[in-house]
Amino acid sequence: MGFNELFWLFFMLAAMQPVIKQRMIESARQRLIAKIEKNRGSRVILLVHRQETMSFLGFPVYKYINVDDSEEVLRAIQMTDDDVPIDLILHTPGGLVLASLQIARALKRHKGKVTVFVPHYAMSGGTLISLAADEIVMSENAVLGPVDPQLGEYPAASVLKLLEQKDINKIDDKTLILADISKKAINQLENAVYELLCDKYEDEKSRELAKILSTGTWTHDYPITFDEAKKMGLHVSSDIPTEVMQLMSLYPQPVRRTSSVEYLPIPKHKS
């Protein structure tokens, strides 16, 4: 075999390596999902968002819950028998209220037990989905987040504050329109959260949680820890299966030039 043939063979193998690696990771994920389903007698659904980096231009692409996600999750729920429990594994910064609510309401309607697992974080729309579950299982270091609506770059609750702090005659028409939309958005989301919670908690508690989570109690990126969620009265536990945490390692962050985190899988002091 000549040099040219060797060169092209090497080139083809190098080009195929990422594809082969991806197929191996997908196969490993499917085996682990099957193991969890067998052990728990459930349907496992994963909704995982990773930040991706374009290989050529090098800028980040942020992924979030969108209508494509809701279509896929709704299809998976519909394919699940009524008496089969659903285990939803969430790892997401949030996303569209419409898509998140569609998923949450579909989970609420499912007759079998619904458990949401949060290995690391499920913020905003991810928390909204979690509230539809019969049980939220978080790792001890995982976080949820507030579900208060955002109008573009502005929190709806902050826009409403302007009406309290400024003379209405000195506020421009655009801001007044935003304030009107903000009031409607907060009311709609507060009612939606109450709807998700009302059959799992007492009425007063459901309304209290809906108000705390949807009316701008904190900044939108405020991390609600396991301890705080428990203190609030949410049905959360920290008994997360090892296999769920293992699954997250099979969703690797796309390769960057230099990893920001590095460690030895087996510490040298144990060798």
Round to whole Å and give the CA distance between 89 and 267: 29
Copy the structure tokens of residue 165: 């702090």
* CA angle at 64 for the pair 92 and 100, rounded to the nearest 5°: 80
Residue 249 Cα to chain centre, angstroms: 16
Per-residue model confidence (pLDDT) at position 4: 67
DSSP string spanning the chain?
Answer: --HHHHHHHHHHHHHHHHHHHHHHHHHHHHHHHHHHHHHHTSEEEEEE---EE-TTT--EE---B-HHHHHHHHHHHHTS-TTS-EEEEEEB--B-HHHHHHHHHHHHH-SS-EEEEESSEE-THHHHHHTTSSEEEE-TT-EE-----EETTEEHHHHHHHHHHS-GGGS-HHHHHHHHHHHHHHHHHHHHHHHHHTTTS-HHHHHHHHHHHHTTSS-TT--EEHHHHHHHT--EE----HHHHHHHHTSPPPP-SS-S----SS-GGG-
Per-residue model confidence (pLDDT) at position 47: 95
CATH topology of domain 27-145+223-254: 2-enoyl-CoA Hydratase; Chain A, domain 1 (3.90.226)
Structure pTM? 0.85
Give me the phi and psi of 265, to 5 degrees please: -55, -40
DSSP bridge pairs for 155: 150
Round to whole Å and give the CA distance between 218 and 146: 7
Domain ranges of the chain: 27-145+223-254, 148-219
From first to last of its 271 residues, the chain has per-residue pLDDT tens of 566 666 566 666 666 666 666 777 788 889 999 999 999 999 999 999 976 544 444 445 567 999 999 999 999 999 999 999 999 999 999 999 999 999 999 999 999 999 999 999 999 999 999 999 999 999 999 999 999 999 988 999 999 998 888 888 888 999 999 999 999 999 999 999 999 999 999 999 999 999 999 999 999 999 999 999 999 999 999 999 999 999 988 887 655 544 445 555 666 655 5
Per-residue model confidence (pLDDT) at position 6: 63
CB 107 within 8 A of CB 134: no
Torsion, CA 138, CA 129, CA 115, CA 27, rounded to 10: -80
